[in-house]
């Protein structure tokens, strides 16, 4: 019986060749691995080089003319690098849309751009080097490897000049040397972190030292001012201490008070002092007045000015609101007068009487 054909697993993979510009390849000029194919973007188009594992990029010849590569999935492309086979495979093997998780330390998946960049920058055959807990060792691919072991002892020839320095205690003020006992004791008395500090002089904006001025003393670290008894009480022309009366007077002054002087111009004067019951203010001059007795007036008469009496006021109120300016009375007999008080009626009556008398006298 023939042996059964062993089934091989199928994997859906995408291969990505190294590709860069011709200028970048020339700058890096790496050795191309044996059988490795790289893609080079030249000014004329895309070209290929195959590595031999020995020659650098510059020493390898291009193995083709310009390659035309499909820039989209096509089933009919005739370009030298076609994707129609890939297209057909994808049609039968994969759905039109699907996704994969990114790869991690615990699970397979797609490589992220940052992972690719990290891998791309690692040289071929690189090792992992890290620090070791052992002195003189480093870890190469997790294995401790000795890089330097300090000898336990030295011969005298290895430390030439050391004995001379120890015996003569040469003073190398400008070079490194051993420390003397005196210098060691001096260093031991210096506090850790100490510096060569210089206290600045205090100013309005800088904290610092204050020099002792006039009439000031320092006793046991305490700054003392002059005795108060050495100063006199201040006057209007001499500086000095404030007296108790001055403090009392100052305490009675309101905050923000000023020395106010009332104006003396017209319209700003106060009522004058003085005056008594029954007096009134009387004009004296522009802006001023004076107290004076109130003037009294008698009742007016036909010949003397005065106040109106209550009887006259009652009589006045009884008059109509409108009266003639004057009443003109005829001063002679007239039959044609137009005055308000006329005598033409009297004249007519008298005429009738005169005519009657004439008749009587004629009988």
75 pLDDT above the threshold of 70: no
Which of 7 and 215 is assigned the larger pLDDT? 215
Cβ of 361: how many Cβ atoms within 10 Å?
A: 7
> Among residues of the chain, what percentage have pLDDT more than 70?
71
Highest mean pLDDT among 143-157, 165-179, 208-222, 298-312: 298-312
Its sign, for the CA torsion 345, 346, 347, 352, is: positive
- With a CB cutoff of 8 Å and minimum separation 6, the contacts of 147 are 136, 137, 138
Residue of 321 and 35 predicted with greater confidence? 35
pLDDT of 67 strictly over 50? yes
Confidence of residue 327 (pLDDT cuts 50, 70, 90): low
Give the pLDDT of residue 64: 66
Of 67, 92, 88, the closest CA to residue 79 belongs to 67
**Beta-carbon count within 10 A of 336 CB:** 7
0.85 cut: is pTM over it? no
Over the stretch 108-163, which tens digit does the pLDDT of each residue have?
777 787 877 787 777 777 778 888 888 778 888 888 888 777 777 766 566 656 66
Q: Residue 12 and residue 259: Cα distance in Å, rounded? A: 103
Instruction: Answer for the pair 269, 287: CB distance below 8 angstroms, yes or no.
Output: yes
Domain ranges of the chain: 18-67+99-120, 327-363
Least Cα distance to 88 among 71, 74, 72 occurs for 74
Joined together, the tokens standing for residue 186 give 């001096």
Per DSSP, which regions of the chain are E strands? 18-21, 37-42, 45-50, 129-131, 137-140, 143-146, 217-219, 222-224, 279-285, 288-293
What local confidence, expressed as pLDDT, does residue 69 receive? 63
Q: Which residues pair with 222 in a beta bridge?
A: 219
Query: Model confidence at 27, in pLDDT bands (50, 70, 90)?
Result: very high
pLDDT at 240: 81
Report the pLDDT averaged over residues 264-281.
79
pLDDT at position 33: 92
**260 has pLDDT over 80:** yes
3-state helix, strand, coil in the chain (%, to 5): 25, 15, 60
Angle at 346 between CA 341 and CA 348, to 5 degrees: 125
Provide the token pair at 126.
């690189």
Calculate the average pLDDT of the chain: 76
Q: Using pLDDT thresholds of 50, 70 and 90, give the confidence band for residue 20.
A: very high
Classify 194 as helix, strand or coil: coil
pLDDT at 253 (0 to 100) = 86
Find the mean pLDDT for residues 313-332: 72
Of 200-209, 234-243, 264-273, 336-345, the range with the lowest mean pLDDT is 336-345
pLDDT of residue 1: 45
Q: What number of other Cβ atoms are within 10 A of residue 284's Cβ?
A: 12
129-143, 155-169, 213-227, 243-257: least confident range: 155-169
């Amino acid at each position: 019986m023939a042996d059964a054909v062993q089934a091989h697993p199928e994997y859906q993979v995408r291969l990505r060749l190294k590709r860069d510009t011709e200028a970048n390849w020339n700058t890096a000029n790496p050795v191309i691995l044996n059988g490795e194919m790289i893609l080079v973007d030249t000014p004329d188009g895309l070209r290929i080089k195959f590595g031999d594992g020995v020659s650098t990029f510059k020493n390898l010849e291009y193995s083709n003319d310009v390659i035309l590569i499909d820039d989209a999935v096509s089933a009919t492309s005739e370009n030298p690098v076609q994707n129609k086979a890939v297209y057909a495979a994808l049609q039968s093997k994969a759905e039109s849309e699907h996704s994969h998780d990114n790869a991690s330390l615990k699970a397979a998946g797609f490589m992220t751009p940052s992972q690719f960049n990290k891998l791309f920058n690692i040289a071929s055959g690189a090792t992992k080097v890290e620090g070791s807990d052992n002195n003189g060792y480093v870890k190469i691919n997790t294995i401790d490897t000795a890089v330097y072991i300090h000898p336990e002892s030295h011969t005298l020839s290895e430390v030439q000049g050391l004995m001379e320095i120890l015996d003569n205690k040469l003073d190398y003020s400008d070079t490194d040397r051993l420390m003397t006992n005196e210098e060691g004791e001096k260093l031991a008395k210096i506090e850790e972190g100490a510096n060569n500090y210089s206290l600045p002089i205090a100013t309005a904006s800088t904290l610092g030292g204050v020099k002792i001025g006039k009439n000031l003393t320092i006793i046991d670290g305490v700054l003392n001012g002059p005795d108060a008894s050495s100063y006199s009480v201040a006057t209007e022309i001499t500086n000095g201490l404030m007296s108790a009366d001055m403090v009392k007077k100052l305490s009675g002054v309101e905050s923000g008070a000023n020395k106010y002087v009332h104006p003396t111009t017209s319209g700003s004067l106060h009522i004058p002092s003085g005056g008594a019951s029954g007096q009134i203010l009387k004009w004296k001059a522009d802006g001023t007045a004076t107290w004076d007795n109130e003037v009294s007036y008698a009742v007016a008469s036909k010949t003397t000015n005065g106040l109106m009496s209550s009887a006259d006021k009652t009589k006045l109120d009884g008059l109509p609101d409108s009266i003639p300016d004057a009443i003109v009375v005829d001063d002679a007999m007239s039959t044609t007068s137009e005055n308000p008080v006329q005598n033409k009626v009297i004249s007519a009556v008298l005429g009738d009487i005169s005519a009657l008398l004439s008749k009587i006298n004629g009988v």
